[in-house]
Each structure stands twice: as C-alpha cells, then as structure tokens.
Structure 1
Amino acid sequence: MPAFPEGTKSTTMTSGGRRKVHYTFPDESEMVEEFDVQTDALVVRKRRSRTLLGGQGEWSFEVGEPSARVTIEGDTLRPSAANPVLVRVDRPHAFEWRIRNLPYPKATYSVSIDHEQRQVVVRTANKKYFKRIDIADLDRARLPLEEEALSWTHEPAGAGTLVLTYRKPAPILKLEKELKLARHQQADEPVVAAGVGGEQPPDCKQQ
C-alpha cells in the first residue's frame, strides 16, 4: 500500500511548537500535516486541489479545524455557537470525531455504517441532526469499513458532544509507523530550502 504517488515532493519545517509537513502531489494538489513537537500527535491535516481555471482551491480539513479568521475591522469570524460542529482528531490507535453542540439525550442518537456509500452515518430520532462522515484514510487504502471497529458515546456536559471512535486497522497502523519513521529521518537531514534573501528558515527541510 503506497503512501503517496511517485513524484510527490515534501517540505518540513518546525514553528510554534508544531512540525509542519507540506506535500505537493504530481497532479499539483497539496496536503499539509501538522504534528505536535512534544507528543508527535497529528493535530491538522488539510488538502486542496487546483480549480478548473488552474487557481488554488480552498483548504479542506480532514483532521483539526481552521483557525478563527479576523476581519479588516478586527472582528473574529467564528461559527455560530449554537450550530453543531464536527471536528476529527487522531488518537494513536483510532480515528475520533467530536460533534459539539448536540445537547439531546444519548438515546436520541443512532450511529451506523453505510457500507455501500462507505460512510459513518449519524442521525437523531428527533430529526434535528443528520450527518454522513467519510473516512478518507480507509478510502485511500481501499480498506473495508467494519461495524466492530466503530463505537460512540455522548458527553452531556456543556452544550453536549457526541464522540465517535473508529479503531484503526492494522494496515493503517503499519503505514502510519512507516510515515513517522520517514518524517523523522527527513527532519534530521541538512537544511536545503532557502528563505528570503538567501537565508535559511529555522528547521526547514525539503526532499
């Protein structure tokens, strides 16, 4: 199971307590991953592709969520505090999704797998919420979705959070171990990427 297409290029840099890896694929699409320097946990994974006119598309977040944007007037743009917000986080042995702002009792929720569409489906008995969730890692690896790998719970504190957990299959764990080894080997290589004015940025590596 190859990690990336042949011809993929990557650049690594460390700043703000995160190791950031930027991938450029042969089709000119991009992926950025950010890892906590202390724990090596994946904090952000986002992707974007070229538009039909050749421009850069919007970033799509697989893991983590965008930072709040600040307008010209200095106001911070955030989603409505009342709207459900879905965020994926990664655990060492599982994918996890947290859906905030779901205050309904636990018995209201139904979580299942749609094998035909290859998605996790969340719905509520009161029809207040419905969501289909892709597991991009399994799609890329062409691995089946398994009922026994999925579990969920509801945390009623605050506005309420529905927590979905999907246990990572062995091929994904093996791939992540290989990518981690390659990432750390790359981080130990000499700096070759030049910064503005010919100066080298701190801890920035390219391959």
Structure 2
Amino acid sequence: MSYANWLTLIRNAEKTSMISGKVRKIHYTFPDGNEMAEEYSMETGVVLRRAWKRKRELMGEPQWELELGEPIKNPAESNNFVVRESSEQPVLTKRITKKNIEWRIRNLPYPIETYSVTANPDTNNITVRTSNKKYFKNIPIPELDRCGAKVNQGSISIHHQYNTLIITYKKPDILCEMEVAVLRELQEVETETDMDDLLNDLLRK
C-alpha cells in the first residue's frame, strides 16, 4: 500500500464521529465490508486506540482486533476494543506519539542485554528475541505499510524497566505527513467539535 492508497480508503469509507470527553471516536466502514474504529486525543490529535473488525466469509460474528492502544479490561465499559490480558505471560501493547511508535512488552524480567530487537526490511516488521530463548516475537508495523516506508534499524531504540521492555521507533517524515493528511480528511466528517483549530495547532508545531 502507499500513502495515496491509504488516503483514498479513508476518503471512500463511510464515517461517523462522536465526542466523549477529550476523545474523538471515529468509526469507518470500508467498501470491502471491513470496519475500523479510532480514538483521537482532542488536545494533541494523536490516535490513542485503533481496532479492526474484518469481514468474514463464513458464519459467525467477527470480533474487534486491537491494533494499538491499551486494552479495555472491563467488557462492561465498551462493546469495542475488548482484549483480555494474562497476568503472567508477556503482554504486548502499542501506542503512538507525535514523533514515535512505541511498544511495551510487560512481564519480561530479563536484563536489557538479553534482548535483541532487529528490523526486517523484507517483511517490514521488527523481531524481538532473547538470548535465553524465553521470548520471540515478530511485530508488524502497519503504519509503515500504509505510507509505503521501509523499517529502519537506525530508528529503533530500547529501554528496560519494571519488568517491561520498551521499544521506540522514530516515525519517518512521510508517516507524520500522512497522519496530518488523515486529520485533514476527518475535518469533513460531521462531529460535535470543529477540527480546524486542532489541525492548525498541529501544523504550527
């Protein structure tokens, strides 16, 4: 996929919008029947949570699959974004900031020298492995696929604290540009809050 293709998908999707506190929630229905739900901070314009409901060919209701953001642990809080965590097994979560993509893998008690985090340009993902062979994970980066960028080893940094491995990936400029372009598209979606001031603030920074 490319930057232009992703924007075309966003434009062609049926979209609804609502405000809940300081969060704007957008629901997309794409021409192929897939659905996406996003939550944006009204203060920063950064996406806080994204989930997908993929259309199924067979019987059964598809479930929401969380792409980024912290899971909602209490199903009573929402019908969407429900993901259950284990208290003992490693748990991977993902968040977006203005400049970075960040993953946190909880329940990894090993010292930082145990971890190897490598970029795989052929598959456009990141591999996490431990020298003691206790953990292995391939982490996709759909944001890079959508803007047509390749994963870069030099953009990766890692930190370890409180039994959590923190992986930070610096966004390429084209991804930052695409995110602003998506916000421009969302200005056209009827909502209770005007997005013009938010977009102008982002463009000034």
Which TM-score tier does this pair reach, normalised by the shorter chain? 0.7 to 0.9
Task: Show the counterpart of 1:67.
Answer: 72
- Would the alpha carbon gap of residues 168 and 86 (structure 1) be closer, same or farther in structure 2, given more than 3 Å must change? same
In structure 2, the gaps of 5 or more residues are 77-82, 195-205
Q: How many residues align?
A: 183
Task: Show the counterpart of 1:178.
Answer: 181
Residue identity opposite 1:161 in structure 2: T
Match of 2:169 among 166, 169, 185: 166
Point out the structure with max Rg over C-alpha. 1
Same amino acid, percent of matched pairs: 38
Q: TM-score, normalised by structure 2?
A: 0.80
Asked if 2 retains the 8 angstrom alpha-carbon contact of 1:86 and 1:97, the reply is yes
Residue identity opposite 1:41 in structure 2: V
Distance in 1 between the 2:75 and 2:147 partners? 37
Asked if 2 retains the 8 angstrom alpha-carbon contact of 1:113 and 1:147, the reply is yes
In structure 1, the gaps of 5 or more residues are 72-76, 192-202
For the aligned residue pairs, the C-alpha RMSD in angstroms reads 2.3
SS of equivalent residue, structure 2 residue 101: strand
Mapping 1:119-134, distance limit 5 Å: 119-134=125-140
Structure with the higher fraction of residues in helix conformation: 2
**Is 1:15 matched up with 2:20?**
yes
Match of 2:85 among 74, 79, 86: 79
Match of 2:95 among 69, 84, 89: 89
Asked if 2 retains the 8 angstrom alpha-carbon contact of 1:49 and 1:56, the reply is no
- Deviation, structure 1 residue 128: 0.9
Per-residue CA deviation, residues 50-69 of structure 1 (Å, 9 max, x unaligned), is 11126542211111133124
Asked if 1 retains the 8 angstrom alpha-carbon contact of 2:16 and 2:28, the reply is yes
- Would the alpha carbon gap of residues 78 and 60 (structure 1) be closer, same or farther in structure 2, given more than 3 Å must change? closer
Residue identity opposite 1:88 in structure 2: K
Mapping 1:133-148, distance limit 5 Å: 133-148=139-154
Residue identity opposite 1:167 in structure 2: K
- Would the alpha carbon gap of residues 11 and 83 (structure 1) be closer, same or farther in structure 2, given more than 3 Å must change? same
Q: TM-score, normalised by structure 1?
A: 0.80
